[in-house]
Structure 1
Amino acid sequence: MATQIDKNRLDTGALDIHPMTPAIGAEILDIDLAATDIANSIPAIRAALLKFGVIFFRDQTLTQDQHIAFARHFGDLEIHPATPKDQPNPEVLRIEHGPQSRGQENNWHSDVTWRERPSLGSILLARDVPECGGDTLFANMHLAYERLSVQMQRFCEGLTAVHDIARVFAKRLGKAPEELHEKYPPMRHPVIRTHPETGQRAIYVNTGFTSHIEGLSDKESRWLLDHLYTSAMDVEIQCRFRWRAGSIAFWDNRVCQHLAVSDYFPARRVMERVTIAGDTPYFDA
């Protein structure tokens, strides 16, 4: 069972923190994530992640090995099925778009909710970015839950949704859904999940991977999912991050959704993501 944490009392140490909006996000300045003594700052960085949902760093020069090493301070790492099998660092998912590949991540989602244990967080490093465009938006899904009516909160708290990798990756990986399901069968997660560290409740369905809500008719399921999806679109629970080469965003997938704006085509945008494994979502009544 999670214990509610007062976010205002989280110890972020001596970090130079600048909140992005009142709802979500903060930039942490004057820190080198590749420093040999970075382990000393990990408790404060983790506290900042829990407090702000997503944290940002500028002017980082991490190699892939250093990127992986930093992420390992927060837990075990995942290997994404879209990662080429022959690449030297399978923990790094390279997301590259340009003249031959328009960005496809422009929908509100939380990463890998099709896993039994979806990720704790994602650490995304910008390698090459357009002169302008290609921003990423983040939404606080705890605040989205708080803005539901009490009656809708109670209704959703008893529901379970199905998350399916094939909805996105069957076409991208050139595989039949049945083939993907052999290794990654559809997963059942609560529509409202409890954050295991803060105890906060958050909406946990997303346009990318959620196929339906169990126990409802197709029409009811679609209506309710559409209603919950739109909750992420409230600008008052969002922040927007403009990338530069060497920028890093580290977000908590248990409470955030994000959307990568694909407005930069045909310019080139190259990002590298390392993802930290999480735990099985649950609802603490």
Structure 2
Amino acid sequence: MSVTEVPPSTTPAPTTPLRPARIPDDGLYEGRRLLRRTPDGWRERPYEHLEIVPQAATIGAEIRGVDLTRPLSGALREEVHRALLEWKVLFFRGQHPSSAQQRAFARTWGELETNPLLERGDSEEVVRFDKGAGVPPSFENVWHTDVTFRERPAMGAVLHLREVPPSGGDTMWADMAAAYDNLPPGVRERIDDAVAEHDFLPGFRRFYGPEKLAGLQDAFPPVTHPVVRRHPETGRRMLFVNTSFTTRIVGMERAESDRLLRLLFQQAHVPEFQVRFRWQAGDVAFWDNRATQHYAVADYGDARRVAERVAIAGDRPY
């Protein structure tokens, strides 16, 4: 099968990232950015069982030649997994899986996670996002990594769009390895060994009354994770803080922590680190929650948008 993929460079990857000549203290410089899709030393190999169509420089690829309604062979599963590590989010057009087929595909990567904070679909592992006129609003239109308020945040997620609005409703993902690579050296030195607190309250407080909230606080107390996470499979360093759940950097004065977190949060907003996907009904996205943030664009007014998501349980970040 043909492979529409960025060909590997014949030039060895630099061991020390190239950087612009001038990086201001806020890290939001102009000009060329370092855009490495894979870590140094990564061995490029051809894909024999699927076709890859890149959607952006470092993140996002459409996968062709894979039917998600059928079990994956061992060789095909290996190639989908390798593509996930290389591209961070994969898009499958026109799949229309049933809920059971969607769960079966996700289970290929491990145990499924449940989330009692969100509306369920037809099983406890399925989260349903049903938006439109008369539906109470929720707030996925903020850059975030899923469930970092848990000790073991999700490894990944599989999202199926069942109904799309006439226009709008895209989802964007950001490559948090690229976000880390492009921080000023002084900032990276400050955060490489830092630890941050994550709490569900900033993202969910508005949805619950005091009694319900108290019970959830007992079930989900704040946890700490490294500010810079190493990917457990590629070893790559990635920025691991987000506006929905990260509340403070441990050991810093509040004002200093807030200033530094604002700078780090802003890295997900850089377009060069992003991919944007325009949905059609039946499309599926599979993303590496360890390596990305995402943002559901709420620009479709009262039109209906129905999505179902299953998440794959993850490990404790280090």
TM-score of Structure 1 vs Structure 2, range by shorter chain:
over 0.9
Read off the aligned partner of 1:159 and give its amino acid letter: A
> What corresponds to 1:95 in structure 2?
129
In the alignment, is the contact (CA less than 8 A) between 2:171 and 2:297 conserved in 1?
yes
Say whether 1:252 aligns with 2:253. Answer: no
> What corresponds to 2:33 in structure 1?
none
Superposition deviation, residue 246 in structure 1: 0.5
Q: 1:137 to 1:232 in 2, by over 3 A?
A: same
Superposition deviation, residue 211 in structure 1: 1.0
Q: 1:123 to 1:78 in 2, by over 3 A?
A: same
TM-score between both structures, scaled by the size of structure 1: 0.92
RMSD: 1.7
Cα distance in structure 2, aligned partners of 1:7 and 1:78 = 30
Greater RCO (CA < 8 Å, at least 6 residues apart): 1
| Greater shift in the superposed pair: 4-13 or 34-43 | 4-13
> What corresponds to 2:300 in structure 1?
264
TM-score between both structures, scaled by the size of structure 2: 0.83
The correspondence for 1:169, drawn from 204, 216, 224, is 204
| Greater shift in the superposed pair: 99-108 or 182-191 | 99-108
1:1-285 equivalent positions in 2, closer than 5 A: 6-9=41-44, 12-83=47-118, 88-101=122-135, 102-174=137-209, 176-282=212-318
Read off the aligned partner of 1:144 and give its amino acid letter: A
Cα distance in structure 2, aligned partners of 1:111 and 1:37 = 26
Bigger CA radius of gyration = 2
Number of residue-to-residue matches in the alignment: 278
In the alignment, is the contact (CA less than 8 A) between 2:171 and 2:276 conserved in 1?
yes
Superposition deviation, residue 243 in structure 1: 0.4
Cα distance in structure 1, aligned partners of 2:203 and 2:226 = 20
Q: 1:221 to 1:127 in 2, by over 3 A?
A: same
Cα distance in structure 2, aligned partners of 1:8 and 1:271 = 35
Q: 1:38 to 1:60 in 2, by over 3 A?
A: farther
In the alignment, is the contact (CA less than 8 A) between 2:114 and 2:126 conserved in 1?
yes
Secondary structure of the corresponding residue to residue 117 of structure 2: coil
Offset from partner CA, 1:196-247 (integer Å, 9 cap, x none) = 0000001100010111111111111111111001101111111100001111
Offset from partner CA, 1:248-267 (integer Å, 9 cap, x none) = 11111111011110011111
Cα distance in structure 1, aligned partners of 2:163 and 2:193 = 44
Structure 1 spans left out of the alignment, 5+ residues: none
Structure 2 spans left out of the alignment, 5+ residues: 1-38
